[in-house]
Amino acid sequence: MSEPSLLIDNLHVTVEGREILRGVNLTVPRGETHALMGPNGSGKSTLAYTLMGHPKYKVTAGKVLWKGQSLLDLTPDQRAKSGLFLAFQYPVTVPGVSMVNFLRQSLRAVRGKEVAVRDFRKDLKSAMDVLKMDNQFVTRYLNDGFSGGEKKRAEMLQMAMLKPEMAILDETDSGLDIDALRIVSEGVNSLAGPELGVLIITHYQRILNYIKPQHVHVLYRGRVIVSGGPELVGRLENEGYDNIIKEFGPADDDAPQAAA
């Protein structure tokens, strides 16, 4: 196993006074693809937002190390500059700002220097080809009037352009039809590897037919109740969450949780 790239240790997070994450432990080694699965309300998106630094999510205990450094003191833009990326479940609309303008500005911000127009165009073209996006797509305003599928593709395009070291995909599969899911997955697969670690957050196993994780973690009521290999995905598909929760979940809600 290679060095841990992202290490989450006993993470507790509250949102508007309610504790959602109650001691999450999770490690993603450099360049690996992991899946974080769980039923609705288990805290999956909370973990994603917390890792990226949304101000609404308050860390009350625990720590997160990213490449050996504490992540939690960094602002969201500093996290992005350090190589972290979050693909949003619900990307936000910014009217009046074209995709291409946005991509260029954020690329400049992340790299900390101007990007040559010719290189930018070349990278953009090839990323859009992989995602089967129309040329004029990038002239549209950021997420403005995009369909669900277009938004998800736009997120993948941003990931491809920004070239992070670790990407958290927050329910990137939701709202995608089967063709779009395949295209988006191919986009992820073309990037995942030694250069890019991926944490796929999903409710369903569907996307995992296309993107094969090395490890799978199940989140339930704010804790990771079990971690395992890809075979966990098969079990979830066949048995649903109920059996897994029965086997690995807490006896009752307030019972102390053993590390998975």
Partner 1 sequence: MAVAAKDVQSGTDYKFGFHDEEDYVFKSQRGLNEQIIRDISAHKKEPEWMTKFRLRAYKHFLNRPLPNWGGDVSDIDFDNIFYYIKPAAEQGKTWGDVPEYIKETFDKLGIPEAERKFLAGVSAQYESEVVYHSIREDLEKMGVVFTDMDTGLREHGDVVKKYFGTVIPPNDNKFASLNSAVWSGGSFVWVPAGVKVEIPLQAYFRINAENMGQFERTLIIAEPGSFVHYVEGCTAPIYSTDSLHSAVVELIALEGARIRYTTIQNWSNNVYNLVTKRALAYRDATVEWVDCNLGSKLTMKYPAVYLMEPGAHGEVLSVAMAGAGQHQDAGAKMVHVAPNTTSIITSKSIAKGGGRTTYRGLVKAYNGAHDVKSKVRCDALLMDDESQSDTYPYMDIEDEKVDVGHEATVSKVGEDQLFYLMSRGLTEAEATNMIVNGFIEPIAKELPMEYAVELNRLVQLEMSGSVG
Check residue 203 and report its DSSP letter: S
Among 120, 141, 210, 248, binds partner 1 (CB under 8 A): 141
Among 5, 33, 46, 158, binds partner 1 (CB under 8 A): 158
Stretch that binds partner 1, among 26-34, 71-79, 179-187, 206-214 (CB under 8 A): 71-79
Record the tokens describing residue 61, joined without a space: 């205990």
Among 12, 54, 182, 235, binds partner 1 (CB under 8 A): 54
Binding string, residues 73-112; x marks residues near partner 1 by CB under 8 A: --xxx-xxx---xx-x--xx-xxxx----x--xxx-xx--
Query: Considering Cα of 114, then 90, then 12, then 220, what sign does the dihedral take?
Result: negative
Q: For the CB of residue 111, give the shortest distance to partner 1 in the complex, in Å.
A: 8
Record the tokens describing residue 83, joined without a space: 């190589």
Binding string, residues 166-205; x marks residues near partner 1 by CB under 8 A: ----------------------------------------
Tell me, by CB under 8 A, how many residues bind partner 1: 30
- Distance between CA 101 and CA 138 in Å, rounded? 8
Q: Which is nearer to partner 1, 141 or 210 (CB)?
A: 141
Cβ burial 197-207 (10 Å sphere, 16+ → b, else e): bbbbbbbebeb
- Distance between CA 6 and CA 27 in Å, rounded? 6
Report the run of H or E that residue 245 belongs to, with start and end.
helix 231-248
194 in helix, strand or coil? coil
Q: Which is nearer to partner 1, 4 or 76 (CB)?
A: 76
Kindly give, in sequence order, each residue whose CB lies less than 8 Å from that of residue 83, ignoring residues fewer than 6 positions away.
67, 164, 165, 166
- Distance between CA 64 and CA 230 in Å, rounded? 25
Q: Which is nearer to partner 1, 36 or 107 (CB)?
A: 107
Q: For the CB of residue 197, give the shortest distance to partner 1 in the complex, in Å.
A: 17
Q: Which is nearer to partner 1, 67 or 235 (CB)?
A: 67
Beta strands at 94-98 and 84-87: parallel, antiparallel or unpaired: unpaired
Q: Which DSSP string do the residues of 129-147 spell out, in sequence order?
A: HHTT--GGGGGSEETTT--
Among 7, 37, 52, 207, binds partner 1 (CB under 8 A): 52
Q: For the CB of residue 76, give the shortest distance to partner 1 in the complex, in Å.
A: 4
By CB under 8 A, residue 163 contacts partner 1: no
* Cross-strand pairs, 11: 24
Q: Which residue ranges make up the site for partner 1 (CB under 8 A)?
A: 52-56, 75-77, 79-81, 85-86, 88, 91-92, 94-97, 102, 105-107, 109-110, 141-142, 158, 162
